[in-house]
Amino acid sequence: MSVENRALGKTGFKYNARKYSANYIGILPFFLLFALFILYPFLQGVFMSFSDWSVSSRDSVNFVGLENYKFILSGNSTTSIRFIRSVKNLVIYVVVTLSVGLFLSLALALITNQLSKRLFNIFRGVYFVPYVLPLFLCAGIWQWFMTPGTGLVASNLAKLGIGRGIAWDSTKLYAIIYVVMVDIWNSVGFNFVIISAGMANISPDIYEAAELDGASTLKKMIHITIPLLEPILFFVVTYGFISALQVYDIPWIISNGSSVNSVGGPGQVMSFPVMEMVRNMYLGGKSGLGRACSEGVILMLVILVITVIQFKGRRKRV
């Protein structure tokens, strides 16, 4: 057998590494930056989760095994109780923001799709503006909106008998609604643009054929638009889910995070896992950084497991 035939092997494919060397050099910077700024910090964080590192001192670092994880999940300490409560808050937050945000984004896309191209472009730009604003600025704008008595949103809601005479960030029920409203206001524009782009790729011939069969607008939406948008909706839900699980900036600012220990709002209803991680880093004592990293690993595993379930579930449906 010749050298060329041995190189081809059983598959009949000859791989020439020298031919693709320029391609490898082209993508090398990406992998170097990925390894330096993502992979290395990730592995370092996992290692730290099994140690008693602290922010104030790194002189004596000891391997403690699973002690940090047991401490965080035990429910026998203030830190553990706060973290478990933050996870419960996160479940409520994710369910509400995803469901309401997706509904509003889809509704806006369906409505504006009926407008002229000029009006559609105007509305698309207007709805997308909140998404490009920094999150701290979004939180600041809504703090002004929700100022009791003078805020644009708070005063109008008070006229309807909602939240009259109260500070929204000082009441358990209204505080979580407050955070959800800001998040939806910030993210709905991005989802709207993505869904609108998906709708633009649906052939008008399909709608014309449905109209010839006597399909109403509602039936076209249920049987044509939404099924054909399934890949887009799946992306929006998956991306929104991962982003919502990492919520931090908006509730931190709204709950008046002038100090690490003051965040969370009344009854810690605006406390979420990432916020607890930051709090533990500075207030957790000798093992604060290690416990914060263990919380991060737990959150990462939750995101990974649910994301895998989402992809497998979609694969079965498809």
In angstroms, the CA 135 to CA 131 distance is 8
Confirm if 139 and 249 have CB atoms less than 8 A apart.
yes
- The pLDDT of residue 32 is above 90: yes
> According to DSSP H, which parts of 76-171 are helical?
78-112, 117-132, 135-145, 152-159
- pLDDT at residue 157, as a whole number: 87
Domain 67-317 sits in CATH at 1.10.3720.10
- Which residue, 186, 195, 221, is CA-closest to 120? 195
Residues 201-208 have a mean pLDDT of 86
Residues 33-38 have a mean pLDDT of 92
- pLDDT at residue 34, as a whole number: 92
56-69 tens-digit pLDDT: 665 577 888 889 89
- pLDDT at residue 205, as a whole number: 87
- The pLDDT of residue 1 is above 60: no
134-165 tens-digit pLDDT: 888 888 899 889 888 888 888 888 888 888 87
Please say whether the dihedral angle defined by the alpha carbons of residues 227, 233, 234 and 235, taken in this order, is positive or negative. positive
**Buried/exposed 192-219: b ≥16 CB within 10 Å, e otherwise:** bbbbbebbeeeeeeeeeebeeeebeeee
| Domain ranges in the chain with CATH number 1.10.3720.10 | 67-317
Residue 14: pLDDT band (50, 70, 90) is low
Return the amino acid letter for 94.
V
265: left (phi over 0), alpha (psi -120 to 50) or beta: left
252-310 tens-digit pLDDT: 888 875 555 667 777 788 889 988 888 888 776 777 888 889 999 998 898 899 888 88
- pLDDT at residue 207, as a whole number: 86
Confirm if 124 and 196 have CB atoms less than 8 A apart.
yes
